[in-house]
Structure 1
Amino acid sequence: MCTAFVSIEPAAAVPVLLLSVRDEYAGRRWAPPGRHWPAQPSAVGGLDLVAGGTWLAVEPGGADAPGPVAACLLNGFGTLAPEEARLSRGELPLLAVRGGRIDELDLDRYDPFHLVLVRPAGARVLSWGGTGSRLTGLELPTGLSVVLNDGPEGLAENRTASARIRTLMAARAAHFRARFAAVPRPRPRPGAATAEEAWGGWLPIVAGDGLALDDPAALIQRREFGDGRIWGSSSVSLLALGADGVRYDFAAVPVEPAGREGWRRVEL
């Protein structure tokens, strides 16, 4: 149950903020953000060591690349691609940040997804519900939005049939929307020395807000769904996009509860 929160304030010094929490099966191997793709040397992101793609890619921009732009991937619900033809969704963020057209792909070869594209000018979510569906796009409004595996605000055309998962996603969205609204919006300048300095009151909230890992509203979570496998949060990313460029702070889970330790600034 990956989750992304996007804060858009066009008049702010840093107009777009992105919080991305990656949830995955325990034991799936990955590497922290870096320049992992020789064919796309300016792109930065964490590396999925199983399929070779990423869950979040950042393109800082330059003479030969669009930017700054970031793309965050969430799994969706719907019809899975045929196993013999399936392609990894992890290539989609990399394609998106180099300006590729997702709508020109043979999407029937991809399992359902939501792709959050953020730039200093705003954010857009592309949603695909699998074979037989259609690709949809939604511009996120000013203010704070949440994107779940059920899509923006949980309102995708294709949503989970599981009442339990719907309940967990709704609890997470409601709790953390209220908590972020209760503290001042950060102004994370690229030159801030530490994550604490950059993100202020958001940081302990992002670190889990003191909730137990199995709390229905937990942002940082660990759950057993009864099949012997463990599902939980593996990493947290915080990005700020503005006229000064991109700031990217990253932490592997677990994160120190006060949010002051475990973070590193990703060089772009």
Structure 2
Amino acid sequence: MCTAVIEVPEDSSASVRLLAVRDEHPARAWDVPGAWWPELPDVVGVRDRVAGGAWLAANKATGTIALLLNRAEPTSVALPQGPNQVASRGMLVLDEVIGRGVGESPRTANFNLVSISGQRASVTSFDGQTIRRIELEPGVHMIAHHDVDDAVRTPRIAMWLPEFRALAGLPERLWRERWVEQLAKSAQLSADDDRAIIRDNRVHGYDTLSLLYCLVESAGNASSASRASSVNDVNDANDTTRGTNSGSSLQIDTAVFARPGHWQTPAFESLRT
């Protein structure tokens, strides 16, 4: 199951920060962040080629960001069949970033949907029967396949949320580098350890492994100069980030694992608008 770390700033002039790790079947086709939806010219994201939706997407015009995490539940809920069969959860991500939102009775399997707009972040959860929406308070939060900050049911949150919270409020020039260092530290665990963030979920009953991760920030009111400094520092630290430094309002840095479920020194592809 996927993992996300979200920092909602105390300072209303700062930006929400997002680290998203994608767990998926390695054979399921997908595309790195790009403008894959001609009917939605302002939308960029990680596309699921199979169903046409997105795992993560952003609206260049509004700065809205959305991320989809599958949700586990202890009981199975019957899904729609026939002409009203279950819809792809990836379409919820696209709906969210264009302002359509999630209806009260989605025809999908269970999910957690992270939505970021300006200096605010929220999570919409669906357990197959009930929709719940919560606004995230300022601070660092973590979510996977249960609830936000659910350290009781999610061992990786119990272990790593305090570590990420210790990194709260880092300056623009440092946060990406420090968060990646923390992610690398977590990868010292075996990928099949339930405390791991970089994962091999097969031993836990899911045929998925960690394929990639993204660092995302939509600038809000943050200064272009600060963002430019941050980008340059990450480039200098890794010497692998590609793209031009445009002082953009939206930045998505993506690193793909050459071997699913195995950590490697990050080689970032950057999308900036």
Q: Where on the TM-score scale, by shorter chain, does this alignment land: which range?
A: 0.7 to 0.9
Is 1:58 the counterpart of 2:70? The answer is no
Within 5 Å, give how 1:170-249 maps onto structure 2: 170-183=154-167, 185-188=169-172, 199-207=176-184, 209=186, 210-225=188-203, 230-242=207-219, 243-244=221-222, 245-249=249-253
Cα-to-partner distance string for 1:145-170 (whole Å, 9 max, x where unaligned):
11221122239xxxxxxxxxx76xx2
- Contact 2:30/2:47 (8 A) holds in 1: yes
For the Cα contact (< 8 Å) 1:187–1:199, is it kept in 2? no
| Pairs aligned (count) | 238
Deviation of 1:127 (Å): 1.1
SS at match of 2:103: helix
TM-score using structure 1 length: 0.79
Which residue of the partner structure matches residue 65 of structure 2?
A: 70
Whether 1:17 aligns to 2:17 is: yes
Shift of 1:118: 0.7
Please state if 1:137 is matched with 2:133: yes
User: How far apart, CA to CA, are the structure 2 residues paired with 1:111 and 1:171?
Assistant: 23
CA contact (8 A) 2:7 2:168 kept: no
State the secondary structure of the residue aligned to 1:220: coil
SS at match of 2:198: coil
State the 1:208 CA deviation.
5.3
CA offsets, 1:66-115, max 9 Å, x none?
x11100011123525223311111111111001103126x41x2111111
CA distance in 1, matches of 2:209, 2:263: 17
Please say if residues 75 and 149 of structure 1, whose CA atoms lie closer than 8 Å, have aligned partners that are also in contact: yes
Provide the rounded CA distance (Å) in 2 between the counterparts of 1:22 and 1:34: 16
Q: Which runs of 5+ in 1 are unaligned?
A: 62-66, 156-165, 190-196
Q: Which whole-Å CA distance do the structure 1 matches of 2:50 and 2:124 have between them?
A: 24
Which residue of 117, 120, 123 maps to 2:118?
Answer: 120
Structure 1 residues 2 and 172, CA, compared in 2 at 3 Å: closer, same or farther?
A: same
- Residue aligning to 2:245: none
**Letter paired with 1:248:** I
Equivalences for residues 22-41 of structure 1 within 5 A: 22-41=22-41
- Does structure 1 conserve the Cα–Cα contact (< 8 Å) formed by 2:12 and 2:119? no
Give the CA RMSD over aligned residues.
2.6
2:150·2:158 contact (CA, 8 Å) conserved in 1?
no
The alpha carbon displacement at 1:211 in A equals: 2.5
Answer whether contact 1:223 1:230 (CA < 8 A) is retained: yes
